[in-house]
Structure formats: structure tokens, C-alpha cells
Structure 1
Amino acid sequence: MKAFHRVAVLMLAAVTCLIGMPVPHAAASPAVRYTNPIAERRADPHIFKHADGFYYFTATVPEYDRIVLRRATTIQGLSSAPETVIWRKHSSGEMAAHIWAPEIHFINGKWYVYFAAGRSDDIWRIRMYVLESSSANPLTGSWTERGRITTPWDTFSLDASTFVNNGVRYLLWAQQEPGISTNSNVYIARMGANPWTITGSVTRLVVPTLAWETRGFKVAEGPAVLQRNGKIFLTYSASATDANYCLGMLTASASANPLTASSWTKSPTPIFTTNEATGQYGPGHNSFTVSEDGLSDVMVYHDRNYRDINGDPLNDPNRRTRVQKVYYKSDGTPDFGIPVPDGPTPVRLRSYNLPDRFVRHWEYRAKLEPAVSPLADSQFKLVTGLTGSGTVSLESTNFPGYFLRHRNLELWVERNDGGTQFRDDASFSQRPGLAASAAVSFESINRPGSYVRHSNGLLNLQAVTDAQGRADATFVLE
């Protein structure tokens, strides 16, 4: 029955991908692991998974002079995929400077790229534009300029994005509105007869007023939509594009009218910010895609791996494209956690026999608990064992350099002291799950026959001799 359920979910995922509907999630989705960064010197990233089996990736290049596109059958494959220039800036006039934030979408059988651009005589006269291609492969086909997206004000505007809810297509964007003393706010409107025209009323959704939205500049930009669990989650970027850059979020019911401002609730605190411990600064301008099996949402974003910038952050070329899995709280809202360290993305260890509970550290003791907050307390990087290949070690996500190790048969998360004893205590043989082969178990390398298992909410190292022990020592990677 479990096998049938998984096949059914995969079939439904494939069908819904084709018709553009949200993919329903099982109670738990399997681990998706990537290696960050996905692309160096690529900011404002957008990844679109198409029905042809390819992921399409575009982003801002640091020269601000062209639009590039890659494709691959996996998200990780985008790292090494060849890159094609599909359009270059004009030599003068409109669309001749500051080519920013391209997004690629497939609408009514054609490809569209939304982007922002300035003029040769005023590089800060940023407006939104659209390209169209009817080719099956947008990397090799020709592109037609469909011109500028017209909004009620002829002012600084950028970061156009689009989504469909209840059969209606909407445009989201950021703009400077006359009479409001901000750099940009976030707006929404219904799309008209084509994907470069809006119609009807325009609704202002976000005005940056909170402290975390106004550091350096009063900015709300880069809107992106995640539709899940009967709700619409709209993330946006705030503050200056240095280490202050961060993500905020609005939430609305999928059955509400998204053109009604009161349909949306604004989170009072940022939902994704700089993390010095993991070495990630200024995460923002995100988009969303889905994992290769269609069962997990994946957030795509850029950041830098250093804080200090000389001069204008917009002239610093080193924003990188990164990805990580989106998790969900018990109420169905997304939990983005923290920007994880570079390298392999982490996993969570869910108990096989207590499926609502996860391995986490609390005051450095390893425990098993439900509804872990903060999320990163339950995320671990599975890395090559400290004793070498053939073993694995579990490194804390929010305390890099700290590993799960046994001490007096208890499991703790402690800093690697470089000693032989620590390396042995923190290295395990990863086995097929003792109670389910689709899961995993961790056998101590210096105490063979003893496994990481939970007992009374705590993790210990114990021998396994019966069915209860095998279940207690089995974990599902998510």
C-alpha cells in the first residue's frame, strides 16, 4: 500500500506539473541534497521546472549587460550546464543599461522573460520589459521584444513576476510610487490579454516601514510566490543589497481575492536573514522551484559569503546562486530556517517509529522532539566521516564545526577538537535502516554493534537486540 501511495503521488506530481497546479505534499517529503553554491556571480536567480523535464535557470550577471539562460535535468546539473546569451542590451536608448532580475516563465505555449532595464542617457530610469519566444527550446530559439510593461506611474519599477491562482494570472512587481517616500513597494494586478499587459486596479501590498525593511534603503522588491496548503505565500526582499538584505513574507488564503490588500497578512519579522555562523550574508531575491521527484519545494536565492563590501554593493560582483529545501510547520506555513553553510545541503533525521519527531540538539544534548524550533537545530550535514571515507559524520547546521558524537554512551553535539578520540566518537557507518531498508541507521565505528537510538526522548548509543531496538535505531532522512 505504501508503494502504491508513492507511485500515486509521483503520477499526480507529473500531471500537476504539466497543468501548473500546486503539487500536494505527503506528510513527509524525502531528503533532497544539493551542493551550494549552484552558480558563482549570478544574482536574482530564477529556476523554472518545465514539463519537458528540464530546469531553466536565469539570473542577473554582474556586468548588467545581457540575459543568460541554462538548462539541465537536475538542479545540481545547472552548476555545470553551458550558458547561452539569449539577449543583449541595446547600444542606446531604452533597455541599454542595468539589465536586472530576469525571470523565465512558460505561458500559453510560449516562453516569456521578464526583466528590468535602464536607459543609456539615464541608467537609473529602470522600467520592466518582456521578451517572447515560441521555440520549444528557449536556449536556441529566437526572441521577440514585446516592450515595456505599463503601470499607472512612469517611475522606477522592476522585478516583475507572475503566478496563477484559481485560474487567474496575476503580475507582481516592485515600484516607486509618487507621494510615498520609499525606494520601492510591492504591487499586484491582474494580467490582461497578453503576458505583458495588466488590466484593472492595481493593489499596493507592501510598503517598507519596519526596521528590518529600511536598513540602508526603504526597499520592498523581488516578490515571489509559493502556493501550498491552501494558502499563497508571497516572499519579498527588503533593505539595502548588502548584509542587511533579507526576506519578508505575506500570507493569504488561496480562496481570497489577492487584489484585496486585506487578504494578506504581513509577517512582523524577517523570515530569512544573514547568518554569521554559517557565513552567509544578505540572502534575498528568491524564487521557488520543486525537487526532481516533485515532492519538495526548493527555495532559490542569492547571497555573499562575506560581510564587508567596498563601495556600492551593486558594484560588487560576488552574489552567488544557492538552493535549499523548504520545510513546513504543523500549521502549513513554510519554515525557511537559516541560509545553510556552503557545501552539501543538510537533512533532518525523522524517527521511524515516532514519525512526528526529529533528532535535534538542545543545549548540545541530542534529543528527539516534535515541532523543532528553530528549524536549524534539527538539520545536519551528512559529510565524509572524520575518520575518513567509508564512514559518515553529522555536522550541525547552525553550529558548523560541531558534530554529533557519543560520550559515555550519550549523544551530544560538540566542537571537533581534532583529537583521535573525537574523530572516532563522531564517525559512524551508515547502514540500511534496521527496521526499514528505505531508512538509515548509524552504527558506531569504535563500538561495533552499537547504534544511535532514541530512548525516553534522548539519543544514546546502544546495542540493538530486538524489534523495539531496531525501530528506535531507524531514521528517515528528510
Structure 2
Amino acid sequence: MLVVGVALLMPVLSSIVTIATERSASAATYSAYVMGYFKESPNQSGDSYALHLAVSSDGLNWMPLNQNNPVATPTAGMQGLRDPYILRKQDGTFVVLATDLKGRVFNLNNQYIHVWDSVNLTSFTNYRRVRLHDMNTHSWAPQAFWVPSRNQYAVIYSANNGTRDVFMVNYTTDFITMGTPQVFFDPGFNVLDGDVLVDGSTFYLSYKNLSDGNLYVARSTTGAPNSFTTLTSGLRQGNAIEAPILVKSNTSNTFWLWGDSFSPANAVFYAWQSSNVNGNAWSALNQRAYTPPINAKHATITPITAAEQTALINRWGTPQWNRLKSSNFPGRYVRHADYVARIDPFPMDPTADQQWRLVPGLADPAGVSFESVNFPGRYLRHSSYALRLDPNDNTSTFRADATFYRTAGLADGAWASFRSYNHPDRYIRHSGYLLRIDPLSAGSDLTARQDATFQVTY
């Protein structure tokens, strides 16, 4: 009788747990963000067609997890992914979707996508490939959102319907059994990379218009197929842009629209900001305002709680390196090339040329020394006032030349400047993109102070 009683109670208990989880998820206070992405670099040495994660407290500056290494890799299909998407489901857990592609040779006729389940993104289970259609077309950039009126999730993706490139949709409750595919968005011209943000009862779709190469934002009050009206004029930064991501701030009525460059040789993220997503007023953000993960491509951004952020950091770990971003050339980072220190545009190969271990100063542990990640044992040091990457010979002269004191940034106190240990009137600065130490102070001209100001980031 006891066994029967427990068995009878199990559905009730399960329902109570499910309801409690859904209520806690809906009532959660999101104070951080998680980004999912794959990686590409100009010469392909930094390519990784797997799921990577990063976290951010402000939604703009990102810290890669797991040393920017993969956290999940497909084992079926083409055994690689592009265009991952992370959705928080109605029960508060997550599902991850991704294009089933590996490398830069595209299979145009792949009918499947990769799918994982995850409780809190610290592990990934139930890996599977899910078939979306039987058409002779692709299934690129899958994305999903909840449709309350249907009590189902919509899975949208880029495909060709025989006439043009459109967004298709399948409806599902479990991301296993997919409904019949149908056209979701066909504005009469080719489109790519749809991303839906649900804000209250309004659905916003960002997409790329392949006819003019620009990004747009559209709106629907129902989220139903072919119900979206475009709100914005075309947006573009750089020579080419794709993969829009529409994100709402956790703390204000601010919206961000992200996009990344089309070419891996110029894998740069761009961003816009607006306080009125229903209008046509987007302002481009200066790259000083944001720092995406190294080599990240076609990302997804999802709000998370502080506890979830802590769990992700505890599980995957923080980077054991930093990057130094120039204040007045924010698209450039400190790197070594032929053992000479300079600031160069991102992206760059080898990737590790721009990664540094900030260790206690070799001459004074209260200071800092910069050890190369890919040439361990070599440090930035000044020689005739120019900065070089040299091996530590453990002399007092080397230790002094390689030690600097971190101070508030001379041009921006929220950033950093680095004063020489043995030439205390001189700071690291760039000149002609090369690094050196020059006499500087708070009274120096603004350009010189900007040259000597850097953001310690990832």
C-alpha cells in the first residue's frame, strides 16, 4: 500500500516541483549575462567549432570561461557547430541549439541541428541531433522562444524555401519532436540570422537583409509567423556585418544590438544602444565600452542570476591571463611581435601574442610584471626606454626593467596606467603603435595620457 501511495503521489509532487521551479525562474532577478559562441581567427589557428561560454556583469565586458576552451563539442553529424543559441526554458533550465557545421566549408543541405539540455550550464546532457525538415536546404542559426498562446516553443532558423532565403519555424514542447516546418519570416528579399527577443508581450526580431547587408529590427505583438513589421533603418558598422543579437539590459530600459563582422579575417564585434527599441534611434557604441571574448563568432546572450554566474565561474574557472586594451585605439591590444611590444588591431594571430600573465613585480611584489603566455619566462621590459619581450636572466637590472606599478589611468581613472619601477617619472605608453616608457604626469597633454592608459581585460 505504501508503494502504491508513493506512486500515486509522485505526479503531484512532480507538479509541485515543476510549478515551484517555474515560479522561481519567472521571479528570478537577473544580474548578469552568459554568452555562448564558437571561435574563428584570421589564419584559422584559433578556430574552434564547439560551444564556448563567457560571463558578464554589465552585458558589455566579457570574461571567457574554461580558459576560452570548449565546454561542449558535438559528437555526431559533422562533429562541429556554429551559431549556438542558449534559451532559458519555462522550467528555469536551459536548452542549447546550434548549427550542425564544422569549419568554413558549408554543407548547404543539412536538415539537422545540434541540441543539448542543461540545468545551469555547468554540464550538458541528452546530446542529440534533431531533424527540422526534409527539404533540400540548410538549417542555419537556430534560435528559440516561448509562445504563450500556443503553449509551445518556436524554433526558427535560416533556410531556403525554394524561392529565397527566409526564416522557417517548427513548434515543439521538448526539442525532440518537431512540428511541421513553415515559413516564419519572408519580407520578399533574402534574410539571414534571425534573433527574437521577447519583452513582456512583445516580440522583437533582428535580422540581416542579404540584399543590402544591413541589420534590422522588426516587431510583432503575437510572435506568429509573418506578423513582424520592420521598425528600423539599416544598421551597419565595418565592411560587413551579420549575426545580430538583441539584448535588453537587466537594470534599465536599455537595449543593445550586437553584430559581428562577416569575415573571420576581421572577426570584430560591433554594438549599438537604444532606450527606445520601438523607434529608429540606435547609437553605435565606441569599442571602449565593450570587450567580447577573443575570437568569438556568432554569439548568443542570455540573462542569468548572480548565483548562476557564480556557479559558472566555480565550474569552469576564470582566465589565467589578461589582455591590455588601448584607451584611444580601443580596437588595438598590447601584443608582442618579433619580441617587440606594440599595440595591434584585433583580431590577430597567434592569439596568445596578446595574452599576458600579470604576476607580482620581479623587483617589488607590490608592482606587476607582464609574462608572455606563449613564451613563458619572457617578460615585457624596457631597454633604452623601448619595451621588449626578453627572457628573465634574473639580474637585478632585468627585474627592475620588468617591474611596473599599476596606477589609476592617467586619462581615465577607471582604467589603468603603469609606472616604471626604476624610472618613476616614466609610464608605459604607445607611440607610433610601439610601446615605450616616457615621462608623463597628470599634467601631461591629453593625447600622451591617453597613450598611457589601458584597460586590463580578457
Q: Which TM-score applies when normalising by structure 2?
A: 0.50
Q: Which TM-score applies when normalising by structure 1?
A: 0.48
Structure with larger RCO (C-alpha < 8 A, sep 6+)? 2
